[in-house]
Amino acid sequence: MAEITAALVKELREKTGAGMMDCKKALAETEGDMEGAVDWLRKKGLAAAAKKSGRVAAEGLVGVATNGLVGAAVELNAETDFVARNDAFQNAVSTVTTLALDSNGDLETLKGVAYPGTGRTVGEELTHLVATIGENMNLRRVAKLEVKDGIVASYVHSALVPGLGKIGVLVALESTGDKAKLADLGKQIAMHIAAARPEALDIADVDPTALDRERAVLSEQAAASGKPANIIEKMVEGRVRKYYEEVVLLEQLYVIDGETKIRKVVENAAKDVGAPVALTGFVRFTLGEGIEKEATDFAAEVASMAR
């Protein structure tokens, strides 16, 4: 058997664009035969997947799943919205989301979990799906919420199918009270989160860098008024409180009644549920947020091709 050297692996990687470990395995399977290794990778769909890996994937689906005390959310991206309507893709998102319920919330760990009925891991199954469907895909993120006693509720805005859509929300409520009533409350708060886009659960959770930046802007705006320093300080603090009401979930006004803070909604729920309620966490995934999409000028592209 030929020695599988680092140089040989590097050469195969450059030829196919496949991952280093996949190249090493291909060479081992073909006893160091370069052309045979290329064919092996092609048959496995790994070479085809690698060629697509540089293309922007900002479409796809967000999946959410809950099981009593546990909830999970994942985002699986593809290149086009058309793929989001593909049954195989939808089944993959649903399966991976369900697997995430038993994960530790770590993305790389989830990729290494066995994918049911295939003999492949989640990561390998997605590579196989890339080759099958013909678009680059990316398992971008995963989150998990868990409570000791209570419920994790979920909501998907404009769900394509149950549990799958473009905005997915999880809400963790700790309480010994009535679970059915807790679930109703959780669903309502999850709908609020989908609409209001909070960035933090409580004031203490606000990103200090974002807060400092906001204070700097507010201070400059207040200083432009020409008022005394003590008045400016009060103006800034008032505007900071307003900032908290915009980005902190517990400080936001409940979109359903437009007048009660979420903190008070949770506190008031104790009477209906039969025990104190604590909102301990939330997750909000919006499909493609933060991904820089390539802007294309179709007319210019056609003109360029004509030239």
Q: Which CATH architecture has domain 6-52?
A: Orthogonal Bundle (1.10)
Sign of the CA dihedral running 213, 214, 215, 220:
positive
Q: Where are the domains of the chain?
A: 6-52, 59-203+248-286, 207-247
Supply the DSSP symbol for 69. T
Strand ranges for 85-240 from DSSP E: 114-115, 120-121, 137-146, 150-157, 164-165, 167-174
Rounded to an integer, what distance in angstroms lies between the CA atom of residue 259 and that of residue 243?
17
Residue 114 CA to chain centroid, in angstroms?
Answer: 21
Total length of the chain:
307
pLDDT for 17:
60
What pTM was computed for the model? 0.74
Contacts 24+ apart (CB under 8 A), 27-33: 28/4, 31/1, 31/2, 32/1, 32/2, 32/3, 32/4, 32/8, 33/2
What string of pLDDT tens digits covers the 307 residues of the chain?
567 888 888 887 766 666 677 788 888 888 888 888 877 776 666 655 554 444 545 689 999 999 989 999 999 998 888 888 999 999 999 999 999 999 999 999 999 999 999 999 999 999 888 888 878 888 999 999 999 999 999 999 989 999 999 999 999 999 999 999 999 999 999 999 999 999 999 999 988 888 888 778 777 777 777 777 777 778 778 888 888 898 999 999 999 898 999 999 999 999 999 999 999 999 999 998 877 555 444 455 445 544 4
Radius of gyration of the chain (CA): 25
Q: Are 93 and 76 in contact (CB under 8 A)?
A: yes
Task: Give the type of residue at 149.
Answer: D
Q: Give the CATH class of 59-203+248-286.
A: alpha beta
Strand ranges for the chain from DSSP E: 59-67, 70-78, 114-115, 120-121, 137-146, 150-157, 164-165, 167-174, 278-286
pLDDT for 211:
81
Cβ-proximal residues to 136 (8 Å cutoff; 6+ apart), any chain:
49, 52, 53, 54, 55, 56, 57, 78, 79, 130
CATH placement of domain 207-247: 1.10.286
**Would you state the structure tokens that stand for residue 2, as one six-digit string?**
């030929």
pLDDT for 219:
79
Q: Are 206 and 200 in contact (CB under 8 A)?
A: yes
For residue 300, the SS3 value is helix
